[in-house]
Structure 1
C-alpha cells in the first residue's frame, strides 16, 4: 500500500507509507508532474509524495526519534513544494528530497539541544516491516543495529544510513551530505569501525555533527 495523502494548509499531508514497487524514479511522468507543479498545479505534487513518502520516512526514521518522523516528513515535502524552483533536473528528484530530509533532521537536532528537558525522550525505534536491515539479518538484529546507529554521532549516522541502509552509491551520498566521494569513503570506513565496536560492546562513540 502506498502512502496516503490528504489536504491540509500545505499542498499535502503525509501519512504512513508502504513500498513502491517497480517504478522508474526518473521517468517522463515524474518530470511532467514537476513541470505542472512549477506551472501552479498544486495537485500534481500529490503523486510525487505518494511515490517518495516511504523513502523519506525511511531516511528520517533512522536519523530522528520516532515521535518526530511524521512531522519531519511533512516538513520535508512542504519545503520541497515551496522550493521546487530550486530543483535542478540534472540531479535525481529522490536525491534532492533526501538532502532536504537530512537538513530537516539536522535542524531538529539543533532545536532539541536548545530543549534539554526533552533530551531524554529519544526513541529510534524503526517500524518498517520490510526495511533492508530486517531482510538481511532479521528483525531482532535490525533493531539492535538501529539502537547502535542511534549511539553514533549525527554525521556518522547520516552517512551509514544513506550508504548501507538506503543503499545509495557513494556519489549520491557525497552529494546529499555536501562532501567529496573520497571523503565519504574514508568517513564510511571509520564510521563502520565505530559501529562495529558498539555492536561488539565497545560503548558509545561520538561522531561529527
Structure 2
C-alpha cells in the first residue's frame, strides 16, 4: 500500500502528543481491521473487536517500532482479540460472513448475467462452507494470505507464527481445500443444502 512511511509519521505525531492524529490511522485501517475480525471468526462482535484493537494499539503506540508497517501490527492485535473472543465462547460459532462483505463491490453486479451470478454465488457458498470446515490453523492462514492478501511475512506477524510455518501451513491448507472441493466440482459428491 505504500503507507508505511505515512503511518510512521502519524504514529510519531501521536506519541509526541497530537492525540487527534490517531484518527488518521483509524480511518485508514478500520475497514481492513473489520474484515480481518470477520474473517477470523468474530462474527457479529467484529465491531467490538476492532474498537478494542484500536484502543490497545493506541495504549501501546509508544512500543510500536518505527520502520515496520502499522497494518500487520494492528492486525496482529485484531487477531489476538478475536482469538480471545473465540476462546471465551461456550461453543464454537461458525463464521458469519459472505464474500461480498470481504471485498468491495465494483458496482457491475446489476449488469451480470443472472445465471452466472447464481453459479458464482453457489461456488462462493461452497467455498466458504468448505473453508469453515478446515481446522483453525489452515482456515486462518488461507484467510490472511488469500482473502486479506497479506504477504507471508505479514501473515506470520498477524498470526504470531514463524515464516516457515506460514509457508508449510499454506501449502497443506490449499491441498486440504483442493481435496475437499475437487470431488464436488467433478460431481462425485452431492451437495445438500
1:25 aligns with 2:3: yes
What is the CA distance between 1:190 and its match in structure 2?
0.9
Deviation at 1:84, TM superposition (A): 0.7
Deviates most, 59-68 or 88-97: 59-68
> Could you say if the C-alpha distance between residues 65 and 122 of structure 1 is closer, same or farther in structure 2, counting changes exceeding 3 Å?
farther
Change (3 A) 1:80 1:196: same
* RMSD of aligned Cα (Å): 2.5
Query: TM-score, normalised on structure 1?
Result: 0.71
Shift of 1:67: 0.7
* Larger relative helix fraction: 2
Q: Which has the higher contact order (CA 8 A, sep 6+)?
A: 2
1:167 to 130, 137, 149: 149
> How many Å separate the matches in 2 of 1:181 and 1:93?
19
Q: 2:97 aligns with which of 117, 125, 134?
A: 125
Counting matched residue pairs gives 170
Checking the alignment, whether the CA contact within 8 Å between 1:125 and 1:143 is kept in structure 2 is: no
Q: Is 1:45 paired with 2:17?
A: no
Matched, 1:61 2:38: yes
Flag the 1:180–1:129 CA change in 2: closer, same or farther, 3 A: closer
Report the TM-score, using the length of structure 2 for normalisation.
0.76
- CA distance, structure 2, for counterparts of residue 129 and residue 170 of structure 1: 20
Unaligned runs of 5+ in 2: 110-118
Q: Which has the larger radius of gyration?
A: 2
Q: 1:192 aligns with which of 157, 161, 174?
A: 174
How does 1:58-207 map onto structure 2 within 5 Å?
58-112=35-89, 115-116=90-91, 119=92, 122-126=94-98, 127-130=101-104, 138-199=120-181, 200=183
Residue 27 of structure 1 aligns to a residue in which SS? helix
